[in-house]
Amino acid sequence: MIPSIWAWLTSPENWCGTFGIANRLAQHVGYSLLVVLIAAAIGIPLGLWVGHTGRGRWLISAANAARAVPTLGLLFALALWVGPHIPGRAAFAVPSIIALVLLAIPPILAGTYAGVGAVSPAARDAAKGIGMTPQQVLTKVEIPCALPLMWSGLRSAVLQVVATATIAAYIGLGGLGRFLIDGLAQADYAQTAGGAILVCLLALAVDGLLALVQRLVVSPGLSGRARTRREIVLASGKDGAPGDVAHSTSA
Amino acid sequence: MTWLADHWGEVWTLLLQHVWLAAVPLVLGLVIALPLGWAARRWRAAYPVLVTTSGLLYTVPSLALFILMPLILGTRILDPINVVAAMTVYTVALLVRSVADGLGAVPEDVRAAATAMGYKGFRRLLAVELPLAIPVLTAGLRVAAVSNVSIVSVASLIGVAQLGNLLTDGYNRAINGELITGIVACVLLALAFDAVINAVGRILTPWTRA
């Protein structure tokens, strides 16, 4: 069993061409990226608004309750009811993309809302006290402080999308899921398992990458790496004013 | 509605199958996660290792895990054991963290008071720390249950019968009634799991309502 999977994964003709692994991988990444960008464009502003103003909390409850809807059912319902209204080849891709966006919004929305909600009132008041406008409070204090939770919401959305995009191959979406679905239909276990291994590797790689980016974008004052930064500030002496040092440690 | 009336027996069988495939891993997962979560709390070095590993396991997409299970277990692809094993993996992955954080949330003075009253080691864990961790555990179990019910339906793609069959068959033959029945049944089942776990959690922690 394992040698045949290995043979499938390593044979050069399986990697090339429109139906090859390389192209399927690019499709999978492309669709996932598109979906997450759309979902983030909707979920992040909405979460910030609910978290900042405290209004519309029902949106969060609704998004959480929506997680009980089976992903497979959502995909099939959209394919059956939306697909026929869309002309041409897009009839396969558009229902999948809508379903994936709907699945990706709840974790992003919940993460953003929880992140903004968890910002300490003291930090918010201090920002107001030093004369920041509401918009500055949002962009300079609330968003940076909310970033760890926002990012973990984004990470779970990305994983959800990569996993569900695999299943969406059943309703005609391209991507690595084709190997799993087509392999099952053709009772070709080498192809099915080879595809499954590729999907696992992709999910792990993407999650690892997001974890790395998280280390880069989260403020050192929040991630507990402030001390290193303070040492750098002190050592370089570039922004060596006492106020700066105090600021970076208290953040 | 007419579709459901005509196929009541079939839906009921699939529902029971679905309950079995979602509930057994929940129980197995809890039994496995309890000692692991305890170990993550007990030894400082174990926490990041166990939490990272369970995070990585949860990262594996469901369809891929179902397909790879026969390779790991040596079972046939159509064997429902594959689904039970895969769902157990996901449950453990979610619950290890809940157990560890739940035990960690027990206040230090409560632990000290229990020790002063003569509770030691394993008995203190069972009689004091574990009961106090129940609210956090219940929250973790509820998330795991709702996610299990949804993921189990994917198993219809590898030919293991449960409510997901209604989704797949409803889609393949374009029978709206069947597809809607499948979705509604899955949602209701998820809500039922959620309600049962919540109720059990409340019954086990009468002091939270005192």
Q: How far apart, in whole angstroms, are the C-alpha atoms of residue A214 and residue A219?
A: 9
pLDDT at B189 exceeding the cut of 70: yes
Of B146, B149, B171, the CB nearest to A80: B171
Straight-line distance from the first to the last Cα atom of chain B, in angstroms, rounded to the nearest whole number? 45
What pLDDT score does A228 carry?
53
Q: Dump pLDDT digits (tens) for B17-65.
A: 999 999 999 999 999 999 999 999 888 888 888 988 888 888 888 888 9
The answer to whether residue B210 sits within a structural domain is: no
Identity (one letter) of the amino acid at B18? Answer: H
Nearest CA in chain A to B190: A68
Residue A100 near residue A31 (C-beta atoms within 8 A): yes
pLDDT of residue A246: 35
Distance from CA of B77 to the nearest CA of A (A): 9
Distance from CA of B166 to the nearest CA of A (A): 9
Instruction: Please report how the helices B62-73 and A143-167 are oriented relative to each other, as an axis angle in degrees rounded to 10.
Output: 60
Q: What is the pLDDT of residues A197-228, one digit of tens each?
A: 999 999 999 999 998 998 888 877 777 665 55
Residue B18 inside a domain? The answer is yes
- Would B65 be classed as within a structural domain? yes
In a domain, B24, yes or no: yes
Nearest CA in chain A to B183: A73
Partner residue facing A67 (CB), from B146, B167, B171: B146
Nearest to A68 among B55, B154, B187 (CB): B187
Instruction: Note whether residue B177 is domain-resident.
Output: yes
Give the pLDDT score at A241.
Answer: 38
What sign has the CA pseudo-torsion B43, B46, B48, B54?
Answer: negative
Domains within chain A, CATH numbers bracketed: 15-218 (1.10.3720.10), 220-251 (no CATH)
Task: Quote the pLDDT of residue A217.
Answer: 85
State chain A's mean pLDDT as an integer.
83
**How many residues appear in chain A?**
251
Residue A234: what pLDDT? 47
> For residue B86, what is the domain's CATH number?
1.10.3720.10
For chain A, the distance separating the N- and C-terminal CA atoms, rounded to the nearest angstrom, is 56
Instruction: Please state the ipTM of this predicted complex.
Output: 0.86
CA-nearest residue to B174 within chain A is: A80
pLDDT mean over B140-150: 91
Is residue B172 one of the residues assigned to a domain? yes
Domain of B42 in residue numbering reads as 2-204
- Of A61-65, A230-234, B179-183, which one has max mean pLDDT? B179-183
pLDDT digits (tens, 9 = 90+) for A66-98: 888 998 999 999 988 888 888 877 777 888 999
Is B36 within the bounds of a domain?
Answer: yes
Judged by CB atoms closer than 8 Å, whether chains meet at B156 and A72 is answered as yes
Q: How far apart are CA A66 and CA A81, in angstroms?
A: 19
pLDDT above 90 (res A101): yes
* pLDDT grade for A18, boundaries at 50, 70 and 90: confident
**Number of domains chain B contains:** 1
Does the pLDDT of residue A249 top 50, yes or no? no
For residue B174, which residues of chain A lie inside 8 Å, CB to CB? Answer: 80
Tell me whether residue B209 is in a domain: no
Q: How far is CA A4 from CA A9, A158, A189, B24, in A?
A: 9, 31, 9, 33
Give the C-alpha distances (Å, rounded to integers) separating A205 from A8, A82, A133, A200, B44.
Answer: 21, 33, 40, 9, 27
Given an 8 Å threshold on Cβ–Cβ distance, is A70 in contact with B167? yes
